[in-house]
Structure 1
Amino acid sequence: MKLLKRVIASVDQYPESILVVRQQTEQRLPSHQHDKAQLLLVFGGIAYLQTRERDFYIPSSHYLWIPKNYPHNLMFNTQDLHIINIYFPGKSLGGFYDEMGIYPVSKLLSEMLSFSEKWQGNYFKGSWEYRFLNTLKHLLPKEDLKKFSIQLPTTDDQRLNTILDRLRTTLNENITLEETAKQSGISVRSLTRLFQTKLRITFIQYVKMLRIIRAIELIKDGNLNMTDIAYEVGYSNISAFSNNFQQLTNMRPTEFKAMSSK
């Protein structure tokens, strides 16, 4: 709790400053919020951001925009992850800035980050660093990039969470609604209703997202080729795997691998 108060106080200490933080502190905090909007950049691994409604998955070479005063909690499970946080003050500009969103790091943004790679701490109006970072902020929506759209809804329903945990451990099997209902001791109709009322998503959609999330983790590990990854997450058809991957990430698995290995 002391760490939480210290981090929030640090972020909001100077209401008019742009704050750059390169230390991985937020992953040790419970759900929290601050008065500044946050640009969170991820390199070298996968970060997980929890909100009240959904879990967001942020792969390497992507960034997350978090609106001001938006409760969240960051997690990750890899040692080689590098995170950059930039906190922006001021009133919301609407549109892009009012929505939680995950986007790929473009070449332009990458070059701007490289230029400012040694910057850390608070920067105030009148300094050229402030002007540079403010320009970076205003460029984000101009690039018109497609959102990375894997967001898993969450629930506090223990019965459903037990089922979801089982699904995560059997992704390489032929998962069906009927068999899952049978294993869980409930009817197909009841299980369908659980997903609709508690998660507001279909069973098939949830399993598809779980499989692609696992595929992202395996691509990052780099130990398997794409065909083996497809089989490992339950696809017998590499074409179906590639198409579903593109539907959820806006890129083919091979494109994602190339981006992640930069």
Structure 2
Amino acid sequence: MLSGKTLSVDDIHKPNFVWFEDNWTHDNVMHKHEKAQLIYVEIGFQYLTVNGKIYLLPQNHVAWIPPNAIHKTNSHSEIIKLMIIFFEVSKSDLFYYEVNIFSVPPVLKEMIKYAEKWSRNIEESADENIFLKALYNELPNFVADAIQLHISLPEDKRLSKAIKYLNNNYTKDLKMDDLSEIAALSLRSIERIFKKETGLTLSKYQQMLRIIKSLELLSAHKWTISEIAYKVGYKSLQAYTNSFKSVMQYSPSDFLKTI
């Protein structure tokens, strides 16, 4: 269920459904839909939690959430402008059953914005079905520019305090010794559990946190790239730029051109 709205997506008996809102809000609870959904952020940014992973959905990016995936969304943006398109999934293509976050190429952006004309239309429309089916069929081709910005949420409760501390202090130069003390685990134990649960080393996890936070700040258009570099814990603009490129495959200034 989408917060503050009178419609339940699973009660809409049509294959595809467009939902557009200027100031979108969601219930901060985990839920799922029988339909898959494409979320486009035109203004602001969203955090998505899907199947135990946290994703950042920056401005001018889309997320594909598979059918029946347990998820929730939230944002700290003052203004959020979203469009969501729900799809029945009938194809066996693996793309439609995996989470994907990717930048919006110009063609897809125009298609999504054109689809706004059908927002909250619960009646069957042949033109709408044909258009949205074409968009749906092309999505695996658009995902060629995909970026994967996610952090796995550990299931092992022994890591809870350490992960919370890390998420709140990602700008500091932390070591495993710090997390070991907070979690009351031996250094050897926390190193093993951390890598198993997150799939990342501490330095890589911290890098992802910093880059995700910097994308949020870049999207706000309130600070220079240099200011953001220091805000998220880097000691120089060059160090931030190198780190950003290693994750995103392009520079912070290139990212700003897309939003």
- Taking structure 1 as the reference length, the TM-score comes to 0.86
Give the structure 2 partner of residue 106 of structure 1: 105
Quote the Cα distance in structure 1 between the aligned partners of 2:232 and 2:2.
41
Quote the Cα distance in structure 2 between the aligned partners of 1:59 and 1:222.
12
Quote the Cα distance in structure 2 between the aligned partners of 1:215 and 1:25.
22
SS of the residue aligned with 1:42? strand
Give the structure 2 partner of residue 122 of structure 1: 122
Aligned runs of 1:22-41 on 2, under 5 Å? 22-23=20-21, 27-28=26-27, 30-41=29-40
CA distance 1:11–1:140, shift in 2 (3 Å): same
CA distance 1:68–1:256, shift in 2 (3 Å): same
Quote the Cα distance in structure 2 between the aligned partners of 1:25 and 1:131.
27
Cα pair 1:40 1:86 within 8 Å, conserved: yes
Q: Which moved more, 1:98-107 or 1:200-209?
A: 200-209
Could you tell me the percent identity over the aligned residues?
27
CA distance 1:184–1:99, shift in 2 (3 Å): closer
Aligned runs of 1:58-97 on 2, under 5 Å? 58-97=57-96
Give the structure 2 partner of residue 164 of structure 1: 163
CA distance 1:145–1:178, shift in 2 (3 Å): same
Quote the Cα distance in structure 1 between the aligned partners of 2:19 and 2:191.
44
Give the structure 2 partner of residue 13 of structure 1: 11
CA distance 1:26–1:72, shift in 2 (3 Å): farther
Quote the Cα distance in structure 1 between the aligned partners of 2:249 and 2:209.
16
Q: Pairwise CA RMSD of aligned residues?
A: 2.7
Quote the Cα distance in structure 2 between the aligned partners of 1:162 and 1:230.
27
Cα pair 1:36 1:89 within 8 Å, conserved: yes
Quote the Cα distance in structure 1 between the aligned partners of 2:250 and 2:108.
19
SS of the residue aligned with 2:174? coil
CA distance 1:32–1:169, shift in 2 (3 Å): closer
C-alpha displacement at 1:21, in angstroms? 1.0
SS of the residue aligned with 1:110? helix
- Taking structure 2 as the reference length, the TM-score comes to 0.87
CA distance 1:31–1:144, shift in 2 (3 Å): closer
Unaligned runs of 5+ in 1: none
SS of the residue aligned with 2:204? helix
Q: Which moved more, 1:96-105 or 1:213-222?
A: 213-222
CA distance 1:58–1:157, shift in 2 (3 Å): same
Q: Aligned pairs, how many?
A: 257
C-alpha displacement at 1:93, in angstroms? 3.7
Give the structure 2 partner of residue 181 of structure 1: 180
Quote the Cα distance in structure 1 between the aligned partners of 2:3 and 2:43.
25
Cα pair 1:103 1:148 within 8 Å, conserved: yes
Cα pair 1:15 1:89 within 8 Å, conserved: no
CA distance 1:206–1:39, shift in 2 (3 Å): same
Cα pair 2:152 2:198 within 8 Å, conserved: yes
C-alpha displacement at 1:184, in angstroms? 5.4
Quote the Cα distance in structure 1 between the aligned partners of 2:153 and 2:183.
19
C-alpha displacement at 1:19, in angstroms? 0.7
Quote the Cα distance in structure 2 between the aligned partners of 1:184 and 1:143.
42
Letter matched to residue 220 of structure 1: S
Q: Which moved more, 1:86-95 or 1:52-61?
A: 86-95
CA distance 1:194–1:15, shift in 2 (3 Å): same
Give the structure 1 partner of residue 238 of structure 2: 239
Cα pair 1:26 1:73 within 8 Å, conserved: no
Cα pair 2:45 2:216 within 8 Å, conserved: yes
Quote the Cα distance in structure 2 between the aligned partners of 1:76 and 1:228.
22
Letter matched to residue 131 of structure 1: I
SS of the residue aligned with 2:122? strand
Quote the Cα distance in structure 2 between the aligned partners of 1:108 and 1:60.
16
Aligned runs of 1:198-213 on 2, under 5 Å? 198-213=197-212
Give the structure 2 partner of residue 195 of structure 1: 194
